[in-house]
Amino acid sequence: MKAVVVHQHGGPEQLHYQEVDAPAPGPGEALVSIKSIGVNFIDIYHRTGLYHVQPPLIPGMEAAGVVAAVGPSVSEVVPGDRVAYAMTRGAYAEYALVPSRNLVVVPEALSFDLAAASMLQGMTAHYLTHSTYPLKQGDIALVHAAAGGAGLLIVQMARMLGARVIGTTSTEAKAVLASQAGCDEVILYTKQDFQSETRRLTGGRGVDVVYDSVGASTFEKSLDSLRPRGVMVTFGNASGPVPPLSPLVLSQKGSLFLTRPTLAHYSSTREELLQRAGDVLGWVAEGKLSVHVHRAYALTEASQAHIDLEARKTTGKLLLKP
């Protein structure tokens, strides 16, 4: 089968499209014929070594397809099922081995592209808004990269829960997308200081929660955008990892709470996975949640997809197609 393989950590040029041996499912595993692959920043972190995985490795943490075969002791799916998954590496390929407990059945009304585009970022948005800081009517949230794949979903879910949403974007075109998703106000951080604008928009109070996937370049001002006892949620490193922080800073800035969550810890049981994925895929199938696909690339173009995502010039979701 064909796959994209990283033989050594580095830039996008380290993504090599090549022939590899087709895997066979073992106990508790399913072999999935991949139809659509979601591209995420975690794929870049694996490629560069920021999140260390020993090469050679096949990137990709999210996909949708059809179960081609199952190994012994598999009860969750059967061959022929339309499925999607996240948080199992190896999706940049024509076939992938996936623990059957990680697979969810895709509603018939949902395309493979939308399913692949919804799983990782959709469940991330779900746990951020429903569990890490459970938003409620009247809360105010600051969402960075509000026109990105995760950002657009966070904005929509925050509005579902009755929160007021302030988003940040880099361009006017992205601001339009963020507004269409439900942002009450959008700050162009390339032209405005988002910290002072956030304070102004909240009458000096600050926001209840910041959802920050950008990392190093926004972290300090995000802390300064919070109300006393507000919650700082840093869940990505698009501009680089956040530097070490003394806990004393949190008290000085208003007895703040800081968390660095990951999807694996918010979908650690089969029941929790099915609940989150069921909500997300159901909302997309019913039209309650809109997933914006920026572009679908051929699997042979994986390096270009990484270049475009790293440049932060895209909006919504990027896909790869085997």
pLDDT 10s digits, 36-63: 999 999 999 999 999 999 999 999 999 9
CATH number, domain with residue 272: 3.90.180.10
What per-residue confidence (pLDDT) applies to 244? 93
What per-residue confidence (pLDDT) applies to 225? 98
What per-residue confidence (pLDDT) applies to 11? 97
What per-residue confidence (pLDDT) applies to 314? 83
CA-based end-to-end distance of the chain: 10
Going by pLDDT thresholds of 50, 70 and 90, the confidence category of residue 164 is very high
Q: Is the pLDDT of residue 241 over 90?
A: no
216 and 291 together in one domain: no
Q: Which of 260, 295, 312 is the last residue of a domain?
A: 260
Q: What average pLDDT does this structure show over 79-99?
A: 97
Q: Is the pLDDT of residue 239 over 90?
A: no
230 and 317 together in one domain: no
Let me know if residue 126 belongs to a domain. Answer: no
Q: Which of 237, 260, 283 is the last residue of a domain?
A: 260
Q: Which residues contact 284 (CB under 8 A, 6 or more apart)?
A: 110, 114, 115, 118, 122, 290, 291
Q: Which residues contact 42 (CB under 8 A, 6 or more apart)?
A: 51, 61, 120
270 and 249 together in one domain: no
CATH number, domain with residue 183: 3.40.50.720
* Residue 147 near residue 175, CB atoms below 8 Å: yes
Q: Is the pLDDT of residue 203 over 90?
A: yes
Going by pLDDT thresholds of 50, 70 and 90, the confidence category of residue 315 is confident
247 and 290 together in one domain: no
Let me know if residue 127 belongs to a domain. Answer: no
What per-residue confidence (pLDDT) applies to 237? 86
207 and 273 together in one domain: no
User: In this prediction, what percent of the chain has a pLDDT beyond 70?
Assistant: 100
Let me know if residue 42 belongs to a domain. Answer: yes
* Domain assignment of residue 281, given as a range: 2-120+266-321
60 and 150 together in one domain: no
256 and 270 together in one domain: no
294 and 247 together in one domain: no
113 and 208 together in one domain: no
Q: What average pLDDT does this structure show over 114-131?
A: 97
The mean of the pLDDT values for the chain is 96
Between the alpha carbon of residue 208 and those of residues 105, 204, 233, 249, the distances in Å are 35, 12, 11, 18
**pLDDT digits 0-9 by tens, 187-201:** 999 999 999 999 999
Going by pLDDT thresholds of 50, 70 and 90, the confidence category of residue 259 is very high
What per-residue confidence (pLDDT) applies to 266? 97
Where would I find the beta strands (DSSP E) of 59-152? 62-70, 82-86, 95-99, 104-105, 140-143
Q: Which of 260, 284, 304 is the last residue of a domain?
A: 260
Q: What is the DSSP letter of 266?
A: G
What per-residue confidence (pLDDT) applies to 313? 78
19 and 93 together in one domain: yes
Let me know if residue 173 belongs to a domain. Answer: yes
295 and 229 together in one domain: no
What per-residue confidence (pLDDT) applies to 312? 79
Going by pLDDT thresholds of 50, 70 and 90, the confidence category of residue 208 is very high
For the chain, the residue count is 322
Let me know if residue 125 belongs to a domain. Answer: no
313 and 242 together in one domain: no
Split into its structural domains, the chain has a count of 2
